[in-house]
Structure 1
Amino acid sequence: MVYYQPGIGTYAPPGLLTTVGLKIAEKADEAVAWYLYQHVIDGYKFLMQTYQAGDSISIFGFSRGAFTARALAGMIHSVGLLPSHNVEQIPFAYEVYKRAKDTNNVKPPSKDAVAPKHDTNNTASSFTALSPPESDNGNGNIEDVTELDEASEFKKTFSLNVDVDFVGVWDTVASVGSFWPRTLPWIDYNPSIRTFRQALALDEHRGSFIPSVWDHRWTVPEKQDVREVWFRGEHSDIGGGAPPESNEEGETPYGTSMLSNIPLRWMIRQIFECQTGILLDPEAVQDLREADILEKPPQDSEKNGGWDWVRRVEESIKLDQNDVERRLYDSFGFNPVWHALEYFPVAKPCKNKNFEPRMTRVPNARAGRSIYRTSANDPIFLHSSVLAYLNSKNHYKPRAKWHGYGNADWPRIEDVLANQIDAIKQGTFPLQDKTKLEIERDEDAVGG
């Protein structure tokens, strides 16, 4: 069963029937996330009314929709899922969730206690990916962080205790509301999410789009499978929305080839790798294959008894090599609002290298993002399509800066071809000009 919500900036509240009234409501929602609660509780209500014991819950979103998706998962973790007959409790449940304490209120456990136990080599490929975490038979949440507040009492008294099996998001913003940023508990880390995947933008540089990355210090690797991958592109190049690349005559010579195709293909593979049970529409898949957005199966796949997973990744990488050539979308454009916000002291959430949350009013001034690593085993990856592009183009240098890396340490690589794995494991980072990745070296960093 599928539920879709348009998202923040698109909500049409009942009672506003005029075009002007609806437009004002949409802009208010976009500027200050006026109806954030409505977006979250609408999704929550759908789950209340449709969930049956044993169901698998998967949630997806992009940008502020990704924030809403993670907020919905956060509400499920914090106050549980109310029974379908208890609709009147939803507004109160949301208020309880909004006041809940999360990992930002307590110190994390030691790194040794939470460091992932999987392969520590600087590589990960789709065909050598982690196995999904073992099921606990649905008898409770992944609960290593105790909430000593009213949320836990509400959950015990009124709600079902359920997990969220899969959350797949594209470039989550750290808060919603362009002028009045708002955030919620259990966004950066959520003990009730079993599998988390996020595609992130290396080249976004707007202060209003600071990303919300997973707090890897809290991950319970025996029960949670987490991966964040950085791709070439700005915000709309990752989750979609950027127009096709055009020439001076306004023509689109590259057709459907776009940067956003790369993280889309990656996310779809994650859905299958993680055994979510999600079934895709065969006709839609065929249309995407014909448009070279999804990889086509090799012609002899039927003869050989199916589509070998390694070959699927290789076919996908071939499409990546074409799509990664597309031009970055200019997120600023001629919009004076975005330009002004970069130099205006608007409050925005951020984190330092120790992942401590804070609010800042320091203007962003179009600075690139910072990628922080707190442990050498943090599942933070650079996508292989970025490496290929860096090696073939002299002019490109990602805007993001990498922090927490030692003198001989490099980011881990996602979607690596089989013939590259041995070289990477031996410490050979496959980048010809290593100055193109801006890495802040630290002799005391976790990587050595």
Structure 2
Amino acid sequence: MPPFATEPVLATDVAPCPSPTTTIYPTYKYTCPHFKHKEGGRNLVVCIDGSSNRFGLKNTNVVELYSQLVKSEAQLTYYNSGVGTHARPTWRSLTYVHYWLSNKVDLLIAWNLERVILAAYRWISENYQDGDRIYLFGFSRGAYQARAIAGMIHRVGLILPGNNEQIPFAFELYSKIDEKAPKGNHSQHKHAWANELAETFKSTFCRSHIHIHFIGVWDTVSSVGVVRGKTLPSTTNGDHHMCYFRHALALDERRVKFLPEYIHGANTEGSHSDRIKEVWFAGSHSDVGGGNRLNEKLQSGDIPLLWMRKEAVEAGLRVKPTEVVWKMDDLQKRTFESLKRTWWLLEFAPVKRVVYGAQGHTFGPHRGAPREILPGQKIHASVLFKGNYRAKAKFWKDFDVWPELMYWNDPASQDRLSKLGPLWEKDIFDASTVPSLLRDIQLHGVECFDAVDRLAFMASFGKFFIVVLQFISEYFTEQGRAAIRKSDGWESQLNELVRYSDDPKVRVSATVALSELCKLR
């Protein structure tokens, strides 16, 4: 098979760029509470796109996030297009037919699933230095591949430089580990043998005790084609090998071949903490991960992307300022129905799928059943502000109920938001975050673009405007304002920031908030 029919599209960038601190602040919140990282380590960032997704007119959140990453000696980056994407031949011939067929087969059975995993794993192994932080991002099957890379590093280690030829054998050992082996002498012996061999391989050829700093994925699915195999080890059974895990899930996806792979699999009693978040958003699979509408300028403003960016920045990811900010209009974006036409045929086929809360699978017809929200997961509060919206997903065993919708200009909305329980990810709607955002601005000045944009969004939201100004006047001392004034170029940077958005309401709100904060002349 010719190279263009087998090699996915890659993008790496290690060329020097301006220091990250000249573009956006490195957040003080990045320290992992679970594992210790060496001070001064770099960021290694891997981004893997979803099935059939690559750079083009309809770019996904993976491409958009990659475009926003700071590429520098302090942060190395890697992008790989999704399963079923290959460079198209420039003329129609037998080679073109070969390309077309291989592309369709790849989508059907994902025969390049392993190839993408190994390519990203090799890049990490070649670039990793002691103390570096590893970030893994992905969408759809690319999300599953990102989680498999984390599982592979956990189970067999990270190969030492000079041993690249051993990487396929490392994956073979990793994939043979059976975490759900049935009882019986033969299976128990085989399971122990696989684990022991993996540990021996790790101690011989690999760096051990390498932990993943951050995994950020949109709507993980392991199988989009006809065949569903067993999940790879350490992809759906816990979080003990990672510092932070963030998972954006689609409330309105119903296709049986796009059932999500949760962090704890079918286990409904898995523990969640601040380190681990699985958050539901309005829309179908590609509404949440991107790729179903034109996005050639990489300025979608999708809420799941803005949420993921914020979570990753708080974990130390370095990003550039972007023209995409939080806007009220984005709450009303139309969602797309994905279950239509030929997809309905599979809804009545005997497709294997898990049963939540039980150990086992079922092959019964799916019939377009809604997804199930499990205990410990969260729902993003933005869904409450979508006019006439009703999510298709349901609560597992009806453990909770949906509150009434809220309205942007309703004075009671802030009070109702404050009373929402831990099920809800308040994010940009949480007034209690104002002090920490102001502290970010105080520590890092007007280079703290994300914090400013979030404050501007809050200030445009009814009672939030009063809350923001109240916290500003109460939290900051004159010494704090004076410290910001002493920072080099703060006034010119602030003026540039005010002109940064095309939305005058957002910029006016930011100007008012920062004027009160900095006491502009």
1:20-31 correspondence runs (5 A): 20-31=97-108
Corresponding residue for residue 10 of structure 1? 85
Higher relative contact order (CA 8 A, sep 6+): 1
Contact 1:244 1:256 in 2 (8 A): no
Deviation at 1:342, TM superposition (A): 1.5
C-alpha distance in structure 2 between counterparts of 1:83 and 1:90, whole Å: 10
Contact 1:77 1:191 in 2 (8 A): no
C-alpha distance in structure 1 between counterparts of 2:182 and 2:148, whole Å: 19
1:220/1:170 CA distance change after superposition, 3 Å? closer
SS of the equivalent of 2:160 reads coil
Contact 1:244 1:257 in 2 (8 A): no
Corresponding residue for residue 67 of structure 1? 144
Match of 2:379 among 366, 374, 382: 382
- Structure 1 counterpart of 2:391, which letter? P
Corresponding residue for residue 345 of structure 1? 350
- Structure 2 counterpart of 1:207, which letter? V
1:230/1:8 CA distance change after superposition, 3 Å? same
Contact 1:233 1:328 in 2 (8 A): yes
Corresponding residue for residue 322 of structure 1? 329
C-alpha distance in structure 1 between counterparts of 2:151 and 2:400, whole Å: 37
Corresponding residue for residue 209 of structure 1? 258
Contact 2:218 2:247 in 1 (8 A): yes
Deviation at 1:105, TM superposition (A): 5.3
Deviation at 1:405, TM superposition (A): 5.8
- Structure 1 counterpart of 2:314, which letter? E
1:45/1:256 CA distance change after superposition, 3 Å? closer
Contact 1:166 1:193 in 2 (8 A): yes
Contact 2:281 2:383 in 1 (8 A): yes
- Structure 2 counterpart of 1:167, which letter? I
Corresponding residue for residue 167 of structure 1? 215
C-alpha distance in structure 1 between counterparts of 2:385 and 2:177, whole Å: 44
Which runs of no fewer than 5 residues in structure 2 stay unpaired? 1-75, 184-193, 403-420, 434-521
Structure with greater helix percent: 2
Answer yes or no: is 1:368 the counterpart of 2:359: no
The number of equivalent residue pairs is 319
C-alpha distance in structure 1 between counterparts of 2:349 and 2:270, whole Å: 34
1:150-161 correspondence runs (5 A): 150-161=197-208
Answer yes or no: is 1:197 the counterpart of 2:238: no
Identity of aligned residues (%): 36
C-alpha distance in structure 2 between counterparts of 1:209 and 1:243, whole Å: 19
1:26-425 correspondence runs (5 A): 26-102=103-179, 104=180, 148-161=195-208, 162-173=210-221, 175-182=222-229, 183-188=231-236, 189-215=238-264, 225-243=275-293, 261-274=302-315, 276=316, 278-282=317-321, 285=322, 289=323, 294-295=324-325, 316=326, 319=327, 321-333=328-340, 335-336=341-342, 338-347=343-352, 349-354=353-358, 356=359, 358-373=360-375, 378=376, 380-389=377-386, 392-393=387-388, 396-403=389-396, 406=399, 412-415=423-426, 417-418=429-430
Corresponding residue for residue 444 of structure 1? none
C-alpha distance in structure 2 between counterparts of 1:403 and 1:346, whole Å: 21
- Structure 2 counterpart of 1:50, which letter? N
C-alpha distance in structure 2 between counterparts of 1:61 and 1:237, whole Å: 15
1:17/1:158 CA distance change after superposition, 3 Å? farther
C-alpha distance in structure 1 between counterparts of 2:432 and 2:398, whole Å: 22
C-alpha distance in structure 2 between counterparts of 1:368 and 1:405, whole Å: 13
Deviation at 1:244, TM superposition (A): 5.4
Query: Higher Cα Rg: structure 1 or 2?
Result: 2
SS of the equivalent of 2:148 reads helix
- Structure 2 counterpart of 1:361, which letter? F
Deviation at 1:257, TM superposition (A): 8.9
- Structure 1 counterpart of 2:371, which letter? R
SS of the equivalent of 2:213 reads strand
Q: CA RMSD in A?
A: 3.1
Contact 2:88 2:96 in 1 (8 A): no
TM-score (norm 1): 0.65
1:44/1:420 CA distance change after superposition, 3 Å? closer
Contact 2:255 2:347 in 1 (8 A): yes
C-alpha distance in structure 1 between counterparts of 2:395 and 2:111, whole Å: 34
- Structure 2 counterpart of 1:33, which letter? A
Corresponding residue for residue 305 of structure 1? none
- Structure 2 counterpart of 1:331, which letter? S
C-alpha distance in structure 2 between counterparts of 1:78 and 1:220, whole Å: 22
Deviation at 1:57, TM superposition (A): 0.4
Deviation at 1:360, TM superposition (A): 2.7
Deviation at 1:418, TM superposition (A): 4.1
Deviation at 1:199, TM superposition (A): 0.5
SS of the equivalent of 1:4 reads strand
Deviation at 1:154, TM superposition (A): 1.9
Superposed CA deviations along residues 95-125 of structure 1, whole A, max 9, x for unmatched, are 10001133x4599xxxxxxxxxxxxxxxxxx
Contact 2:151 2:235 in 1 (8 A): yes
Deviation at 1:20, TM superposition (A): 1.2
C-alpha distance in structure 1 between counterparts of 2:432 and 2:142, whole Å: 36
